[in-house]
Structure 1
Amino acid sequence: MTSEITLFVNPTAGRGRGAHAAQPAASALRDAGFRVHTVLGEDAHDALRRAREAVAAGTGALIAVGGDGLVSLALQAVAGTATPLGVVAAGTGNDFARALGLPVRAPAAAGRLVARALKDGGCRDIDLGRVGDRWFGSVLASGFDSRVNDRGNRMRRIGGRFRYDLAILAELAALAPIPYRIRFDGGEPRETEATLVAVGNGASYGGGMRICAGAEMDDGLFDVTVVGACSRATLLRVFPKVYRGTHLSHPAVTVHRVSSIELAAAGVTAYADGEPLGALPLTAACVPGAVRVLTGGAGRGLQRPG
């Protein structure tokens, strides 16, 4: 293994935490004897190009310093390659890191864990979801939640979390069941009305909302959570349970464990790892062992909830 590794940094992640996290992470890696090269990029497209160039040049690891958006970009560069991925979680949600039991907003500790994993072979091969040529690590969202994202993204004059709170209220006012056409594992298509359909390689999105609470990242399967047609009152009662994952027992909720899914619904945009993926229809496949993540033993031995 080469001693030169690449820090892939989003300086704006977590309202600037990404920039502050890069230095202690880099120091921990240099103290462990690694040569550290930093990649920034002028925008997402340029950053991904630079990350792919580093992987192609044989970097010993690509270390994503930022939030789930940057991890998503990093996955596009390392998925299907022998280059391991390290994560220094410094964003707002950090769902990918949480799912793997990695340090969150503790950049020096995360840097030390990555260094130890590189030296001791502390890696974990995990699955990824794939839609066309796009990879995702956590959750693909469609329906009510993705429409909230759509509306929030349009509210450019309103800053911070407040615009998404407004977006939720607006989407609740417009709540109506969405006609979906779903096919699991190439089987017969199912026509159903639903509030949302979430495809989980990991358990959570949105900073700890455990929408696919039973999902494991190394079982070769998605956990697909379907929230059926429901009233505003029911949705408001069920919503707080998502943070504990206890919503899965509600009669309006069903879970399907599958290796692939075809989703179709008019006027619905899908988001994967919090980033816009495109309008339905789409087909998502779970690809076993698609990426090697530097965990240093973190997250091992976790059991699926009963």
Structure 2
Amino acid sequence: MTSEITLFVNPTAGSGRGARAAQPAASALRDAGFSVRTVLGEDADDALRRAKDAVAGGTGALIAVGGDGMMSLALQAVAGTSTPLGAVAVGTGNDFARALGLPVRDPAAAGRLAADALKAGTARAIDLGRVGERWFGSVLASGFDSRVNDRGNRMRRVGGRFRYDLAILAELAAFRPVPYRLRLDGGPVREIEATLIAVGNGTTYGGGMRICADAVMDDGLFDVTVVGACSRTTLLKVFPRVYRGTHLGHPVVSVHRVSSIELAAAGVTAYADGEPLGALPLTATCVPGAVRVLAGEK
């Protein structure tokens, strides 16, 4: 293992926390005896190209500094390689880091944990989801939740959590179930109406909403949470329970554990790790052990 570590930094994450977090994380790694180089990019495509170059050049680890968007970019660079991935989670949601039990908004602690894992050789192999050439680590969302994201992204004049809350209210006013066609593990096509379908490699999205609360990141399977067709009143009762994961016990909710899923629905955009993935239809596959993460022992 080379002693040179690459910090993959989003300077704008968390209203500037990314830039501030890089220094204490780098200091923790240097104190542990590693040399550190920093990779930035002019935009997402340029940043990803630079991260892939670092991986191809034999860096000892790629450590993403930022939020879930930065983790998503980093996954595209390291998935399917032997280069371990570290996370200094300082964004808004940080769902990937939360699912792994990593420090959140504590860059020095995250840097020390990554250094300890590298020295001890305890990088943990976890599964990833794959749609075409795109990898995801946490949750693929479709339906009500992705429509909230669509609407929130259009609200340019409103920022932060308030924008998301306004988007939820607006989507509730326009709420209607989505006609889906889905196929689980190559089985028969099912035609159902559902409020949303979430495909979980990890447990949470949206900054801690436990939509796939029982998902395990190294079992080779997705947890697919289906919130069936329901009234607006029922949705208002079920949705707040997502923060505790207790929605899974509601009669309108079902969970399926599968290694692959095909999803189709008109006018629905899928989001993976909080980033737009594209319009349905799509096929998602769980790839066992696709990445090694600096998370210490399980």
**TM-score (norm. length: structure 1):** 0.96
1:126 matched to 2:126? The reply is: yes
Structure 1 ranges of 4+ moved more than 3 A: none
Distance (whole Å) between structure 1 residues aligned to residue 152 and residue 243 of structure 2: 21
In the alignment, the residues of structure 2 paired with residue 118 and residue 237 of structure 1 have an alpha-carbon distance, to the nearest angstrom, of 45
Matched letter for residue 143 of structure 2: G
- For 1:152, the aligned partner's letter is G
**Equivalent residue for 1:86?**
86
The one-character-per-residue Cα deviations of 1:211-235 (angstroms, maximum 9, x if unpaired) are 0001000000000000001111111
Instruction: Could you tell me which runs of 5 or more consecutive residues in structure 1 were left unpaired when the two chains were aligned.
Output: 301-306
Which structure 2 residues correspond to residues 153-232 of structure 1 after superposition, within 5 A?
A: 153-232=153-232
Q: Percent identity?
A: 85
Q: Deviations over 1:41-77 (max 9, x none)?
A: 0111110000000000000000001111100000000
1:238-275 Cα distance to aligned partner (Å, 9 max, x none): 11110110000101000000000000000000000000
- Report the counterpart of residue 268 of structure 1 in structure 2: 268
CA positional deviation for 1:157: 2.0
Q: Structure 2: where are the runs of 5+ without partners? A: none
Distance 2:83 2:91 in 1: 23
Give the corresponding residue for 1:105.
Answer: 105
SS at match of 2:160: coil
Shift of 1:160: 2.2
Q: 1:20 is matched with which residue?
A: 20
Counterpart residue type for residue 100 of structure 2:
L
Larger mean CA deviation between 245-254 and 158-167 belongs to 158-167
Deviations 1:156-191 (A, max 9, x none): 122222222111111001101110000000000000
Question: In 2, Cα distance between the equivalents of 1:131 and 1:252?
Answer: 27
> Aligned residue for 1:304?
none
Give distance in 2, aligned partners of 1:69 and 1:235: 28
CA distance in 1, matches of 2:181, 2:52: 36
- TM-score normalised according to structure 2 size: 0.99
Partner of 2:293: 293
Q: What is residue 71 of structure 2 aligned with on the other side?
A: 71
DSSP-derived class of the 2:146 partner: helix
